[in-house]
């Protein structure tokens, strides 16, 4: 049976280099499960594979979306499964790598069949978010879907808005669609988790932010600033620099906030991944052990 080799872990842990090594070892392609790397205009702040890395191994779901494109985990599940069917026609293994927890789950387990939201409802809710603010929409979510409100990331506008979109489009709470029943897949899934000691990971995160700034992240944020309302730009690295460009923060403070928010996101990723008993954990420097494990699994 064909195998999906999943390499996951927190941001900056070292997934990209290892995924290239695994893909070359098995002579196969890499499928991205990093939802922000889907957007072609985010060339620095999402740390996508370099042009040389993209040439080294065939990649999929990198830079394929416009900033204003609507894309969901449900659509990713559909698109990813269709792609995997094509790739498995010529490859026994395919590598899937990234840190977007919901998108990894979409590929491996499937997500619940939530209704498709029509364009008018999406537009209306985005207008309400801009005009009324996130706090007002959170209060509304608490009224119409208290079950989801209790578990939602209320600081994430995309999650709050989508739950309200589903409620108004379908006439029933978003939480009512969450059955959490894994779907069968016509391939085996082998999951490798990458982790480092916390101090080591945080140092890598801090260093990566400094490298992004040296590479021109601020200039990239300036170019994107007029489109800051787009959901794709509600992303660590950009949203902090937008506040600097607003004159709200000075630049050193904004950079420190990027580092802190990235470290917080890494902790959130690890908390999510640690719930999955199917993940086999390694330090990224254990490349030989990881490759042997994948060959034997």
Q: Which of these CATH numbers, 3.40.50.620, 3.30.540.10, 3.20.20.140, 3.40.50.300, describes 3-111+186-296?
A: 3.40.50.300
Residue range 119-177 forms a domain whose CATH class is mainly alpha
Q: Indicate if the alpha-carbon torsion angle 162, 69, 89, 194 is positive or negative.
A: negative
CA 67 to CA 264: how far, in whole Å? 25
Residue 155's Cβ-count burial label (10 Å; 0-12, 13-18, 19+) is exposed
Cβ neighbours of residue 95 closer than 8 Å, sequence gap 6 or more: 5, 6, 7, 19, 22, 23, 26, 28, 29, 30, 31
Contact 46/212 with Cβ under 8 angstroms? no
Query: What is the β-pairing status of strands 3-8 and 93-98?
Result: parallel
Contact 98/34 with Cβ under 8 angstroms? yes
Q: Which of 231, 258, 229 lies closest to 11 in space, CA to CA? A: 258
CA 224 to CA 233: how far, in whole Å? 8
CA 127 to CA 197: how far, in whole Å? 43
Contact 214/22 with Cβ under 8 angstroms? no
Q: How far is CA 212 from CA 47, 175, 284, in A?
A: 8, 38, 22
What tens-digit pLDDT sequence spans the chain (297 residues)? Answer: 999 999 999 999 999 999 999 999 999 999 999 999 999 999 999 999 999 999 999 999 999 999 999 888 889 999 999 999 999 999 999 999 999 998 999 999 998 777 878 888 888 999 999 999 999 999 999 999 999 999 888 988 888 999 999 999 888 898 888 767 789 999 999 999 999 999 999 999 999 999 999 999 999 999 999 999 888 998 999 999 999 999 999 999 999 999 999 999 999 999 999 999 999 999 999 999 999 999 999
CA 54 to CA 58: how far, in whole Å? 6
Query: What is the β-pairing status of strands 3-8 and 59-60?
Result: unpaired
Q: Domain segments of the chain: what residues?
A: 3-111+186-296, 119-177
Position 160 scores a pLDDT of 94
Position 120 scores a pLDDT of 86
Fold match between 3-111+186-296 and 119-177?
Answer: no
Taking each helix axis from N to C end, the angle separating 157-170 and 134-144, rounded to the nearest 10 degrees, works out to: 40
Give me the DSSP letters along 252-270. Answer: HHHHHHHHHHHHHHHHHHH
Q: Which of 66, 60, 82, 74 lies closest to 103 in space, CA to CA? A: 74
């Amino acid at each position: 049976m064909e195998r999906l080799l999943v390499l996951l872990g927190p941001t900056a842990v070292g997934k990209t280099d290892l995924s290239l090594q695994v893909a070359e070892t098995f002579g196969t392609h890499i499928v991205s499960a990093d939802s922000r790397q889907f957007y072609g205009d985010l060339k620095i702040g999402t740390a996508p594979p370099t042009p040389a890395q993209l040439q080294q191994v065939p990649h999929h779901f990198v830079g394929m979306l416009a900033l204003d494109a609507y894309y969901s985990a449900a659509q990713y599940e559909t698109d990813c499964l269709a792609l995997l069917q094509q790739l498995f026609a010529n490859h026994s293994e395919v590598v899937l790598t990234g840190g977007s927890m919901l998108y990894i789950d979409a590929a491996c387990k499937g997500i619940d069949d939530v209704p498709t939201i029509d364009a008018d409802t999406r537009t209306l809710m985005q207008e309400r978010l801009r005009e009324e603010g996130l706090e007002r929409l959170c209060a509304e979510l608490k009224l119409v879907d208290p079950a989801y409100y209790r578990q939602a990331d209320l600081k994430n506008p995309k999650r709050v808005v989508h739950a309200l979109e589903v409620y108004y489009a379908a006439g029933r709470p978003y939480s009512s669609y969450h059955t959490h029943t894994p779907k069968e897949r016509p391939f085996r899934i082998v999951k490798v988790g990458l982790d480092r000691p916390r101090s080591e990971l945080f140092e890598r995160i801090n260093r990566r932010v400094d490298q992004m700034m040296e590479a021109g992240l601020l200039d990239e944020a300036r170019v994107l600033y007029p489109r800051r309302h787009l959901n794709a730009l509600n992303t660590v690295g950009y949203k902090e620099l937008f506040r600097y460009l607003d004159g709200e923060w000075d630049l050193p403070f904004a950079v420190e906030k990027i580092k802190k928010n990235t470290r917080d996101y890494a902790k959130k990723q690890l908390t999510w991944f640690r719930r999955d008993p199917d993940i086999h954990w390694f330090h990224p420097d254990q490349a030989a052990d990881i490759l042997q494990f994948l060959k034997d699994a």
